[in-house]
Amino acid sequence: MKNHVFRPLIVVIGIVLLILAARFVYVPKDFGSYERGYIYSWHRQGDENFWNKFTIKYQGKEYCKDCHEKNFTSINKSPHRIIICENCHGPAIDHPSEARSKLVIDKSREQCYRCHVKLPYPDTARGRIKGFLDPEQHNPGMECVTCHDPHDPKLGGA
Amino acid sequence: MLTRRNFLKYSLAGAAGLAVPATIKASTGTAPAAGTATDKRWVFLVDSTKCVGCGMCVKACKNENEVPYDANVSRTWVERYVVTKDGKVHADSPKAARDGFTTQTIDQGHHGKEIIKPADISKAFFVPKLCNHCENPACVQVCPVGATYQTKEGVVLVDRTWCIGCGYCIMACPYGVRFFHPVYHTAEKCTFCVHRLHAGLKPACVEACPFGARQIGNRNDPNDPVTKTILNNKVQVLKEEYGTKPQVYYLGLSMEVK
């Protein structure tokens, strides 16, 4: 083969080898197409661990049971038993460890409005919940929990 | 000199040589995940008749998955549909329903607000939405760098360190469940809370829903209550015509839902 063909060819081959070498260094070893094949799972397997080890914040209702037995039993007797503690008390995360010994309770009117603003929607679960069409007419500015115990709303007083 | 005899000989040898890596790959390749009893395939069931639009699921999801609380993006959201007697559909999801639906006013952000008289309403309902973790996820197919993928349990995830932020997946998803994370500037989406599932917990939205409108199940377990419901009841999926085979099933879905 003639020299003027051969020399640029060497340069091209050199560039290709360089790219392959760079790719070898740069692409993580665990990159590959796993269970779902090339189209759907061409990925870095290590990332699955990242998502699997994400910090859990909401611990669920049973988590509170042992220390807060009194509140746990009282709410279980009321219609509010379907609401998990953390919906109002905030995510437990690693409570009661020192860093988060105290949870911030959401006592706002808006928290109650989520369900107890009456929406005139026929044949919906929302339409059947007791509530106000215009809650701002009812003791405006006061926290609902001043009069209504959220753990036992039927008692009508805290 | 290339004779016909030699040409055929070399072609055959070449073809045989090419076939060797293919057979190696075939013998080491794993079988598709579906079917085996020990493998899980997470599916979701939404009973839209039970949803009251309290938005506890959205609040819990944002807290659990560290999606900035006040940014107007969310991995899951609740839509409200109000159909009036003239046949018009009025839908909204203010702040992804993070604070629930606490007024009768339909709030479509910069598209304006609508006040609908209760007497004009013919039907109304709430529809929770989240990633469908499709069997054929369009978002995964379009990713040019392999940053989004499906695990063997069917969960579609995004690799934040590998995502280049091109936004193809956000465009490809027919359900609009993807967005850019305001902090990481990479594609962000629902993970079915895999970190919770592996710890034996339910996803945060399922946990937070007081009315049982959201449920998670394992499709490969025939005794799973969610699997039974999906198999034995009239369930629907969203945008079936796209062929993505979505794995979030809906009970009591109305035709107005898009």
CATH number of the domain within which B175 lies: 3.30.70.20
> Would an 8 Å CB–CB cutoff place B128 in contact with chain A?
no
> Would an 8 Å CB–CB cutoff place A103 in contact with chain B?
no
What is the three-class DSSP state of B242?
Answer: helix
B136, part of any domain: yes
Q: Which of residues 40-99 of B touch A (CB under 8 A)?
A: 49-56, 59-60, 63-65, 82, 99
User: pLDDT tens track of chain A, all 158 residues?
Assistant: 678 888 999 999 999 999 999 999 999 999 999 888 899 999 999 999 999 999 999 999 999 999 999 999 999 999 999 999 999 999 998 888 876 678 899 999 999 999 999 999 988 899 889 888 788 888 898 999 998 999 988 755 44
Q: What are phi and psi of B180, to 5 degrees?
A: -85, 130
Q: Give the max Cα distance, chain A.
A: 99
Find, among B204, B170, B190, the residue nearest to B60 by Cα: B204
B138, part of any domain: yes
pLDDT of B101 > 90? The answer is: yes
More confident of the two residues B24 and B229: B229
Q: Looking at residue A124, what is its pLDDT?
A: 87
Q: Looking at residue B230, what is its pLDDT?
A: 96
What is the rounded CA–CA span in Å between residue A134 and residue B191? Answer: 38
> Would an 8 Å CB–CB cutoff place A62 in contact with chain B?
no
Structural domain of residue B236, as residue ranges?
33-70+131-258
Residue of B nearest to A42 (CA): B146
Pairs across A and B, CB distance < 8 A? 152
Residue of B nearest to A80 (CA): B210
Q: What are phi and psi of B43, to 5 degrees?
A: -135, 160
B13, part of any domain: no
Strands B248-251 and B42-47: parallel
pLDDT tens digits along A119-130: 999 888 998 898
Partners of residue A86 in chain B, C-beta under 8 Å = 60, 207-208
Strands B187-188 and B214-218: unpaired
B4, part of any domain: no
Q: Looking at residue A132, what is its pLDDT?
A: 83
B18, part of any domain: no
Find, among B110, B51, B45, the residue nearest to B246 by Cα: B45
Q: How confident is the model at residue B221 (pLDDT cuts 50, 70, 90)?
A: very high
Q: Looking at residue B34, what is its pLDDT?
A: 46
What is the rounded CA–CA span in Å between residue A129 and residue A116? Answer: 7
Q: Looking at residue A155, what is its pLDDT?
A: 58
Q: Looking at residue B40, what is its pLDDT?
A: 94
Q: Looking at residue B38, what is its pLDDT?
A: 67
More confident of the two residues B103 and B24: B103
Long-range contacts of A40-44 (CB under 8 A, 24+ apart): A40/B136, A40/B137, A40/B140, A40/B141, A40/B149, A40/B150, A41/B140, A41/B149, A41/B150, A41/B151, A41/B152, A42/B146, A42/B149, A43/B146, A43/B147, A43/B148, A43/B149, A43/B159, A43/B162, A44/B146, A44/B159, A44/B161, A44/B162
Domain range summary for chain A, segments of one domain joined by +: 3-52, 62-155
Q: Looking at residue A100, what is its pLDDT?
A: 65
pLDDT tens digits along B130-163: 999 999 999 999 999 999 999 999 999 999 999 9
B256, part of any domain: yes
Closest by Cβ to A121, choosing from B54, B124, B210: B124
Domain total of chain B: 1
B233, part of any domain: yes
Q: Which of residues 162-221 of B touch A (CB under 8 A)?
A: 162, 191, 194-196, 198-199, 201-202, 204, 207-208, 210-212
B80, part of any domain: no
